[in-house]
Amino acid sequence: MKKNKFLIALLFTISQASFAMMQMDEKGMVMNANPHNLPKDCPQISETVDLTIHAGHKYATKFNGKMFAFDQQQWDVKPCAKINITFINDDQIRHQFMIHGLPGYLYPDGMLHLELYGEGELHASLIMPNQKKTYLVHCELAQHAEKGMKSQLKVGGGDGDLPSISAISMPIKADPYSLDLSVLKLGGIIVLLAFTTVIVVGRWLLSLYFNSST
């Protein structure tokens, strides 16, 4: 009996801890925010940075072939910086702001996750480790990152640029924009030829009519 009570208490404690790492309501959710706990390699907070980050279709219009984007493609902070994030979704569809590669003992699965189900804003804080590193920031919804919603966060200058960050680095595989005529089907070619023939014959008949009238 005592053993069962202990297991129930343990499961309750774990569930409460998991819930504390996630805040959710009708507009969105925040997972793994960390406003207070220092990483093991940080003796103190080096700076406090307030970042307002927008997400939406209109921020992708300056990039060829992209559908979604954050309003910035790179942010720079010091090691051991505390970052206060205001995440704003300017679209009527879901967007996420996710940072990957964070220490797992502070951030389960190594990530911070903010998600808005539509237009609105969320707030969360985190404290970066004391190392030079470039972190991936992206939306994990299907194809949103591939369509442009991907940026990078550099801590202490970072350790290089990540691939396929719009306006910063070259894509792993470039998007083709050349016209491929091989995709035209035979039916489309026949329609095009018929349309051209009608125009040519029509003009010839009109010229005959006007010439006979004079």
**Residue ranges of domains in the chain, CATH in brackets:** 27-155 (2.60.40.420)
Specify the pLDDT at position 177.
Answer: 56
Name the CA dihedral angle for 204, 208, 209, 210, rounded to a multiple of 10 degrees: 100
Q: Mean pLDDT across the chain, nearest whole number?
A: 86
Q: Residue 33 corresponds to which amino acid? A: A
Q: Is the pLDDT of residue 42 over 50?
A: yes
Query: Structure pTM?
Result: 0.73
Mean pLDDT within 105-131: 97
Which of 85, 72, 93 lies closest to 148, judged by CA? 72
Specify the pLDDT at position 201.
Answer: 81
Residue 21's CB is within 10 A of a number of other CB atoms, namely 14
Q: Which residue has the higher pLDDT, 192 or 142?
A: 142
Please report which confidence band the pLDDT of residue 14 belongs to, taking 50, 70 and 90 as the band edges: very low
Distance of alpha carbon 188 from alpha carbon 53, whole angstroms = 46
- The sheet carrying 120-127 orders its strands as 69-70, 48-56, 82-89, 120-127
Specify the pLDDT at position 185.
Answer: 63
Q: Which residues contact 68 (CB under 8 A, 6 or more apart)?
A: 55, 56, 57, 59, 60, 91, 95, 139, 144, 147, 148, 149
Distance of alpha carbon 102 from alpha carbon 198, whole angstroms = 66
Please answer whether residues 127 and 155 qualify as being in contact, where contact means their C-beta atoms are separated by less than 8 angstroms: no
Q: Which residue has the higher pLDDT, 16 or 29?
A: 29
Please report which confidence band the pLDDT of residue 181 belongs to, taking 50, 70 and 90 as the band edges: low
